[in-house]
Chains A and B, each alone.
Chain A
Amino acid sequence: MKRFFLNVKAEFLKTKGTTAVLLTILGSVFIPVINLVICMERPDVMVGKFGAEPWLVFVKFNWKNVAAIILPLYGILMTSLIVQIEYRNNTWKQVYALPRRFADIFFSKAIVIHSFLLSFLLFFNIAIVLSGLLTSQINSKYAFSWDGVPWELMLTTTSRIYLGLLALMNIQYWLSLRFRNFVISLGIGMGLWIVGIVLMDWDKIVYYPYMYPFLMFFTDFKVHPETLLKLKIGSAISFILFLVLCYRNIYKLPERG
């Protein structure tokens, strides 16, 4: 087990100074910074919009673009970028020639990918809070105080969106491992996401993993509580299903590296 943790550490070291790191940092703060600028520029519109519960509105205001667009695209791109580190440097064969089991290689990289995703979510939440507090500091008409930060709402939303992203991440991991060409995995991922957008009104959309993050945020679970359960079960099943399929398929490839 100690060897596995050392391998995970090695996988993290490989990402040092890569675009995936930059993408995580910039992508996570992008929307909160934009919203900060909007609040500064248009207080006449925004102050009234936030009403009596400014944090609740502000958190949702930040999340809507992130859940619908930024996070799915980030997941697709980041997964491809991390796997591409090996393809771009021709290092897969060197990795597979190490005395490491396939499961060790497979899961240590998966852990790095999920750590990046969780870091994105953490940075994004921190950026929301800082953005709100800074808005109040700059313009006192905004009523964002530290005491009012809706931690529970933020945690619930973050957990649901993460759960909704799990299957998408596994499919992208599979595609990225399967195809040496970065454009193929990226193209298929983007294509599947766009198909989901087009099929948004389809009554079976709850079975389409690429739309889970969107549905996890935009569905009104007070009106449709049954949908939340469907999405949770769908996310968990498709996560496991695609993990197993991905593992088996890559393991069975006749040539590694």
Chain B
Amino acid sequence: MLIKTTNLNYTFRSKEQVLFNLNLEVPAGSIYGFLGPNGAGKTTTLKLLLGLIQIEDSNIKIFGHDVRDNRIAILNKIGSLIEQPSLYQHLTGYENLKVFGLSYGIVQARIIEVLNIVGLSGAVGKKVSAYSLGMKQRLSIALALLHDPELLILDEPTNGLDPNGIVEIRGLLRQLNQKYHKTILISSHLLSEIEKIATDVGIIQHGKLLFQGTFIELQQLQSKHSFIEVRVNATQEAKDLLDDKFKVLLTGDRLRIAYENDQQIAEINQDLASKGIKVYQLGLIENDLEELFMKTISK
């Protein structure tokens, strides 16, 4: 494991505990999606990993070493982006990279290289204040890549981006993982934003890790809690018919039916048709993260 936390707890000075026995495990080479709604404890966890929040008992190991005792050596191998882009707005893109590059002892060639990787080589002389949000996010990722780190910790890198920007960043992260072999820990409050790239997932809510595993395992969990919505001409009759085999909820003039696989959807349709019930509409209900949380909690 590249990152491993053992029963990580954190309490703010206001005595509010925000993390409870967090056992985060990020495998090397993975894109680890750290999911949770706003206020779940994602940023606090990432700040603890980077040593931005200091704690007495560190239960965090990165690259196999304790963060508290080996902070500088560990940070040499981590590139990060925490919350909104942290850039000097009055400086150009190039100057921003130079400022941070000096701390790493980076040469100019590497700055040009990372600008090419993130596709910003055409905007190096422009002041960051004139950048779009997407460009700022790209520059922040360039900054995180400057010293060629093994691990990238990115806190909501697609926050505030339009759909195009999200797709671009997603493509960039996939490229960084596959072509440049970076392990990426990426936090988000939207499952849809990272489900296309994450190989591993951790779901956090109220400071507790509710789920951790591969994305395939998450999909299996998700499918157990998936629903279709059906509109028919005889709602009550349809409910009575399906109640024995499925979990059916009546919501207005529609039925919400839990299913586990595609075969069951076909079966539902077939059962209704065979009893002469007319199916006007049959559709999947997208499982958003919030719903999945609720289901994961109630599991």
Contacts and interface: CB of A to CB of B under 8 A. Distances in A.
B89 A97 contact: no
Interface stretch (A3-11, A116-124, A147-155, A233-241): A3-11
A99 B76 contact: yes
B242 interface: no
A90 B84 CA distance: 8
A10 B99 contact: yes
Contacts of B87: 89, 91
A7 B88 contact: no
B100 A10 contact: yes
Interface stretch (B48-56, B244-252, B265-273, B275-283): B48-56
A29 interface: no
Contact of B99 (A13, A97, A254, A257): A13
Contact of A98 (B13, B54, B85, B100): B100
A3 B82 contact: no
A146 interface: no
Interface in B50-64: 50-54
B100 A13 contact: no
Interface residues of B, number: 33
B75 A93 contact: no
Contacts of B71: 99
Interface in A1-38: 3, 6-7, 9-10, 13-14, 16-18
B78 to A, nearest CB: 8
Given A6-B102, A13-B102, A89 B88 contact: yes
A101 B103 CA distance: 11
Contact of B52 (A3, A16, A93): A93
A56 interface: no
A14 B128 CA distance: 13
A13 B91 contact: yes
B4 to A, nearest CB: 20
Contacts of B217: none
Contact of B102 (A9, A88, A97, A257): A9
Given A14-B99, A98-B100, A89 B89 contact: yes
A254 B44 CA distance: 12
A90 B99 contact: no
A177 to B, nearest CB: 15
> Chain A, interface size: which category?
20 to 34
A98 B75 contact: yes
A13 B97 CA distance: 11
Nearest to A5: B102
Contact of A10 (B13, B85, B102): B102
A91 B13 CA distance: 23
Contact of A257 (B52, B72, B88, B90): B52
A100 interface: yes
B8 interface: no
Contact of A101 (B72, B78, B84, B98): B72
B86 interface: yes
Which of B13, B47, B105, B143 has the most A CB atoms < 10 Å from its CB? B47
A7 B86 contact: no
Given A93-B52, A93-B83, A254-B13, A18 B90 contact: yes
Given A10-B102, A14-B91, 10 more contacts: A6-B103, A16-B91, A16-B95, A90-B84, A93-B47, A94-B100, A97-B51, A101-B72, A256-B53, A257-B52
Considering the complex of A and B, which 6 residue pairs feature the smallest CB-CB distances, nearest first?
Answer: A94-B86, A10-B102, A99-B75, A99-B76, A91-B86, A6-B102
Interface of B: 13, 47, 50-54, 71-73, 75-76, 78, 80, 82-91, 95, 98-100, 102-105, 143
